[in-house]
Amino acid sequence: MKTLQQSEKILAEKYRILGKLGQGGVGITYAAVDLNSNQKVALKALSLRLTTEWKKVELFEREAKTLSGLNHPGIPRYIDYFQVDTSQDRCFYIAQQLAPGKSLTQLIENGWKPNEAQVRHIASKVLEIIVYLQSLLPATIHRDIKPQNIILQKNGRVFLVDFGAVQNTYHHTVTGGSTVVGTYGYMAPEQFRGKAVLSTDLYGLGTTLLFLLTQKFPSDLPRQKQKIKFRDRVSISPEFADWLEKIVEPAIEDRFDSAKDALSALRGEQPSGINPEKMFKRSPQSRITLIDTKRWLLIKIHPDRSPSKLKCFFQFIHLIYKVLLPFSLILGFLLCSLFEYTLTDWLLTLYERSFVISILGITTFTLFYALMWLCRCLCRIVYRRFARKIQISPQHIQRVKLSGIHLPLLKISMTFCRICAKPRNYCFGLFLPQAEKEWLVGELSDCLSKLK
**Which positions are catalytic?**
144
Give CA separation, 330 vs 146, 323, 334, 354, in Å. 80, 11, 6, 15
Q: Which amino acid is at 105?
A: T
* Residue 441 CB contacts under 8 Å (≥ 6 apart), including other chains: 170, 173, 174, 400, 401, 402, 417
Q: CA-CA distance, 73 to 157, in Å (whole number)?
A: 9
Q: Nearest-CA neighbor of 452 among 249, 251, 201?
A: 251
Q: CA-CA distance, 131 to 261, in Å (whole number)?
A: 9
Q: CA-CA distance, 397 to 129, in Å (whole number)?
A: 33
Residue 45 contacts residue 5 (beta carbons within 8 Å): yes
Q: Nearest-CA neighbor of 221 among 118, 252, 209?
A: 209
Which pairing describes strands 78-85 and 90-97: parallel, antiparallel, or unpaired? antiparallel
Q: Is the dihedral of CA 37, 38, 44, 48 positive or negative?
A: positive
Which pairing describes strands 227-228 and 280-282: parallel, antiparallel, or unpaired? unpaired
CA-atom Rg of the chain in angstroms:
32
